[in-house]
Every structure is written in C-alpha cells, then in structure tokens.
Amino acid sequence: MKMIVSYILFFLIGASSIAQTVVTGKVAGEKGEPLPGVNVFLKGTYDGISSNSKGEFRFKTNKTGELVLLVNLLGYEPFSKPVELKGDTIRLNIQLKEKFNQLNAVTINVGTFEASDKKQAVTITPLDMMTTAGAAGDVYGALQSLPGTTINGESGRLFVKGGDSEESQTYIDGSLVATPYNSSAPNLATRGRFNPFMFKGTVFSTGGYSAEYGQALSSVLLLSTNDIPAEDQLDFSIMSIGLDASGTKKWSNGAVTGTVTYNNLAPYMSLAKQNYDWQKAPESLSGEISVRQKTGKSGMLKLYSKIDNSNFTLGQYPLALESKPADFQLLNQNQFVNTSWNGQLSEKWGTNAAFSYTNNLDDIHFDPTKVNKYLEAFYLKNNWSVQLTEKFALKFGAEFVSKSFDQHAEIADGKHDNRFTNHNYSGFTEAQIYASSRFVARIGGRVEYSDYLNSFRAMPRFSAAYKISGKSQFSAAYGWFYQNPIDDYLLYTSHLSPERADHYTFSFQSSANSRTIRAELYYKDYKSLVKLNGPEFYLPSSYDNSGSGYASGLDFFWRDKKTIKNGDYWISYSYLDTRRDYRNFPEKAVPTFASKHNFSMVYKHWFGGLRSLASVNFRYSSPRVYNNPNSTVFNGEKMPPYRSLDLSWSFLYRTNVIMYAAVTNLTGFKNEFGRSYATVPDASGVYQSAAILPGSDRFFVFGCFITLTRKGSANQLDKIE
C-alpha cells in the first residue's frame, strides 16, 4: 500500500513539474532604456514578480491555458498581453509607453521669462522685482537685468532684442495698458506707473509669443495682480522720495485695497548733485483701489483703478541750442481702470474677459511753445479655452481696441490741431497639441483690421518644445507680428500700413538642483517700417512703408541658488547685431538704442545674523552709436560704454518692519548718452551740441516699510530669509 501511495505522489509531483510554465523577459521604455521595479503578473492570480535593475523579470506558474499578462509601472501606460501557458518557457520583450500627464509634460518657454509663485523652476521671482539692486522698485528696471534687454539710461523704457521701446506692450490681468510709463522730458529716464507689490506674477516674453497678443513687434509683458489676501492689514511706507499708505479689508469671498501715494524728489535732489537745473522737482500724487471677488466655485472678478497727477519744471532745458533756452514744464494727468473675470464654465471649458480704459493728458510748456497731448483708449477682450482631449486644447477669442489721440500745439507761427481715432478689431485661435509628454506644439493665427488705416492683416504663429530629459528641453518659435505706426505719424496720415517683424527663435533651457541655464538664438526680419522722407513732417506725402531692417543675436542666462550657502546669483549676457532703415534714416544703419554687448551680474546674500538681504548688480553695455550732423557718416559717433555698480540692503528690523536702502552707480561711473544738436548751424556752419547726461550720476533711496495685521506677523518681504 505504501508503495502505491508513493507512486501516486511521485506521479502528481512530476505532473505538476511538467505543467509548470516559466515567464521571462525584459521591460524597457520607448527609447530602449531598462525599467526597474515594473510589476509583471498574471491577471487573476498571485503569480508574478517585479523587474530588476536591468529591467529583467522571471517567474514560474502552475496555471495552464490562456491568461492575460499585466505589466504596470507608475507613470507609464499599462500593458497587457494574452499568453498561452503550456508548461514551456515564454520569452517576452515588453516596451512601455510613458503615460501622459499635463502637469509633468513639457511646456513651451521659448522667449519667455516667467516669475510666478506657482512655478517651481523659474528664472526670476516676484520678490526679485523689489530686491534686485538697480531696479529701484521699478518693474521695468528689474527686467533690465535679464538677457535680451538693452539699457538706455536716457529713456528707462524696455528695449528688447533690437526693438524700439514702442515695440513692447504691457498687460495687467489680460488688459492692455496704453500708458505704462510715467510722462517725462526728452532724454530723461522715466519709470513704470505701477508698484511691483501689487503683482503676484510676471511673464516677460521677448519674442515668439502667443497669437492672443498683437500690436507688439518685439515683446509683451504680462502682469498678474494679487489674489485675495489672508487677512486685513495696513501698510505704510516712509521713503526719502515719498510716502505711501495702504489698507486692505477682507471678507469671506473677497477683499478691497485702497492706496494713497505721494512722491517728491526735492529732498533727494537737495542731497545728490543734479546734472540739470530743476526749477521744480518731480512731484506726484496718486490714489488706487483694487477689488477682488470670488464668483461661484472657480471664478475670480478683479477691478483695479488708479488716478495719478504729476508735474515738474526743468530749468533752461536746451531744446534748441540756436534759440534762447526756456524752462520745460510738464503736467500729467492719468486715469487707468481695468477689470477682468476668470472662470471655469465646466470641466472642460474656461473663459476670461478683460476690459481697460486709459485717459492721459500731457500739458507741456516751453515758452513760447505750448503742447497738449490727449490720449483716450478703450480695450476689450474675451477668450475661451476648451480641453477637447487629454492631449488637445483649443483657445480662441476676440479683441477690440479704440484709441483717440489729440495734439494741440501753439508755436510761433500759429496754432495747430491734429487728431485721429482708430478702431482695431482682432481675432485669434490657437491649438496646443501634445504628441507625448516630451513634445508639444502650439499652432495658431491672428487677424487684425484697422479702420483708420483700412488695413487687414493675418499672421501665423507656431511654437514647439521637446523635453530631452526630465530637466532640459529645446524650444522653437516662428511667427509674423504686426503693429500700427506710432501715434506721432498717424496724426498726419492714414495712408500707411502696419509695420511687420518676422520672428525666428530657438532656445535651450535646463533647470536642476536650484540651477538654471538658458541660451537662445533669434533672428527678426523687419518689413514695411515707416519712413519719413523730407523735413515736412506735417505732410501726408512725407510718409511711406519703404523701411526695413533686421535684428539677430544670442542671449545667455545662468542662475545658481545652490553653490553658495545663503547666496543667489545670476548672470545675463546678450549679443546683438542689428541694422534698420526707418523714420528719418538716410540709409540702413545701427539704431541709436542698440548696444552690441550687454552684461549684468546680480548677487544676493542672506545674512542670518544680521537679518538682512544684500543685493549687488553690475551692469555693462558696450558703446551705442549716435548721429553727428557735422559728420558725413550717419550714426558714426559712439558714446562711452554704460557702466553701473548698484547696491541694495533690506533689513528686517522686526517681523513687520523692514528698513531698505539702495544706491545706483555706487562708484560714480561717468555715463553719457550721446549728444543733442542744434537744428540749424551757427555762423561758422557748425551744429553746436551738448552732452546728454543722466539726471544725476547716482540715485539713492532709503525707507521703512511697516505692515500691521491682527496677528502682527505678516510682511511683504518676510520671504527674503
């Protein structure tokens, strides 16, 4: 009997061994790279194993017949395959596709520098706008430490990638800002109208931007205002150049903030030697109100309004050296209102509506001349977005801009009134297509119609990005960009066409371990630029679109927050090659605002024991050209290089009290921005000239920022540690 039982057990064990199937193979990614830790198992059983470091797997099963083999790895599409289990060996080579996830997918960043609290790998942050030495609390000043910009010390405006300052546009919460800069005298630097503290994020696109934006040949600056604060608070600023008081009241789904600001440069000018004779120092008074209200589950309504009044008198401003110098007096009144609403209409549909209104008056006197310039602009935009599939999104919208510009001049030969009104109608559409989480393309187009110019234009836009690793990517962009001629020309003629620039941009960016490197090549082809042929600027026949030009270059950016403990620095370098024939140029030449080499190095250090953040910024621009009418070579003269060593210090006196001090051009470099010339020669046939200098060799500011809350611990700069 025992022998029979033994034979039966032996037979069963042998049969089981014979029926056992071996499943073996290797799991790899789309590029053939081995994938470790992959779960490989038979559906409905416990038979399976995880792949080793080489992606290999091997397990045995006693199951027979047809079953389904499942292969799973987080971040990859699940794989399944029917297998026939017959007691033999099954060898499989399995390739897994990466699972698509928009949160981890590549994003298009060609030509774009983004500062946002929601992004983990950005080139600059909102706080950098305030703490970067040399910025002096100005948004546009902070951006001039980034590649692609050229410093024009006699302007203070943005000059981007070989483009004039008029070629850049500013948007706040999606609404166009018609007058983003304070009014100033010719050849004297200005500043932006808005306080950086009111913005939570910034997108600075230096080219190849979305079809959503038009009327900008070179760049767009997108500013997003703050959302609802955490609690009620009062903010006070006491500075060497003025006072500021702000109060915020919060309720369950909204908040309102009111601000009053008074600036007067007289105390500063009494301490720092000025290069000009100021009869009345620049003075301004402004009031702001901002309302934020949640609507529904996801909507946000924002309303912002600002009224600004400023004035100054510049003594004996040499507008015409052949005549008696006269005081230059400027009074400016500016009103700006913008409102926006963002919301999700459904799981797939979203919308944004934006409106802005600008009313600006410049009242200019320099005896015996009086000039009044009045600008009124309306802006309205509505766009929609829909996520049709996981890998395909569509955005489209319409835009309306109405601009009226009126100039009244009283000069020696009489009164002259000129005015124009233009309505610009635009529409755009754009599709974002993900071929995978590594490759994305954005294809779109924009159309614009100007009733004043009787012009219709269509412009294609294309951009794409490819992620070569988890931290690095290539991006490229191409597009046509149109912009109406400047207001000073449209006052005299409507027989012009929009100017055009074609952008070709290619960039590389890598961010890892708190370090970011970025390099960008670009080429811009300018067409249909406006030419002023002849001295009769008031005749419509003096203007045409025969101008052209180009701009090409290389931008480089490196930021490192890792190497130096408590230290953070970035290096920006730009190479620019540009020529153009436009306005009153007699030939194609390098424009006066372009500098071939631009360099900036910013270093910030947190001193924990001193509770202080120090910032140093060295800026350099190679010599720019200017025209000397006494020379036969157009734009043949060169001004000295621009150099400035700037320093700022932020000290946390208390959690809610910050002391701040900053100085530009600490070492006193002698900067000069060319020369201004008389319009007629003297008796000897020579055009007399005077150097164009900065208002002062140095600018300094110091102040105290105080925040009061119920908790007593909040502060705008509490992140600097």
pLDDT at 13 over 80: no
pLDDT in tens, 340-397: 999 988 888 999 999 999 999 999 998 788 999 999 999 999 999 998 988 899 999 9
Cα angle 54, 59, 64; round to 5? 145
The span from the CA of 161 to the CA of 531, in Å, is: 21
The pLDDT of residue 38: 92
The pLDDT of residue 143: 87
The pLDDT of residue 440: 86
The pLDDT of residue 386: 93
pLDDT at 159 over 60: yes
The span from the CA of 358 to the CA of 169, in Å, is: 14
Instruction: Provide the pLDDT confidence category of residue 126 given band limits of 50, 70 and 90.
Output: low
**CB within 8 Å of 562: residues ≥ 6 apart:** 513, 514, 515
The pLDDT of residue 514: 84
* pLDDT mean over 569-585: 95
The architecture (CATH level 2) of 112-709 comes to: Beta Barrel (2.40)
The pLDDT of residue 552: 97
* pLDDT mean over 314-340: 80
* pLDDT mean over 628-640: 94
pLDDT at 230 over 90: no
The pLDDT of residue 10: 42
% of the chain residues with pLDDT over 90: 59
Is residue 659 within 8 A of residue 612, CB to CB? The reply is no
pLDDT at 162 over 70: yes
The pLDDT of residue 719: 42
Distance in angstroms between the alpha carbons of the first and the last residue of the chain:
86
Per the structure block, which two tokens stand in for 489? 């020309």
Pairwise pLDDT comparison (186 vs 551), residue with the higher score: 551
pLDDT at 134 over 90: no
pLDDT at 708 over 90: no
pLDDT at 537 over 90: no
Instruction: Provide the pLDDT confidence category of residue 106 given band limits of 50, 70 and 90.
Output: low
The pLDDT of residue 326: 78
CATH 2.40.170.20 in the chain is located at 112-709
Q: Where are the beta strands (DSSP E) in 345-438?
A: 349-366, 369-389, 392-411, 414-434
Is residue 110 within 8 A of residue 520, CB to CB? The reply is yes
Average pLDDT value over all residues in the chain? 88
The span from the CA of 419 to the CA of 407, in Å, is: 6
pLDDT at 116 over 50: no
pLDDT in tens, 196-210: 878 887 888 888 888
The span from the CA of 708 to the CA of 716, in Å, is: 11
Number of Cβ within a 10 Å radius of residue 664:
23
CATH 2.60.40.10 in the chain is located at 2-95
pLDDT in tens, 287-302: 999 999 999 888 999 9
pLDDT in tens, 427-452: 999 999 888 878 889 999 999 999 99
The pLDDT of residue 718: 46
Three-class SS string for 446-501? EEEEECCCCEEEEEEEEEEEEECCCCEEEEEEEEEEEECCCHHHHCCCCCCCCEEE
The architecture (CATH level 2) of 2-95 comes to: Sandwich (2.60)
pLDDT at 4 over 50: no
CA distances from 300 to 163, 194, 295 (A): 35, 21, 6
Q: Match 């559906």 to its residue by tokens.
A: 43
% of the chain residues with pLDDT over 70: 90
The H-or-E segment that residue 267 falls in is helix 266-271
The pLDDT of residue 175: 93
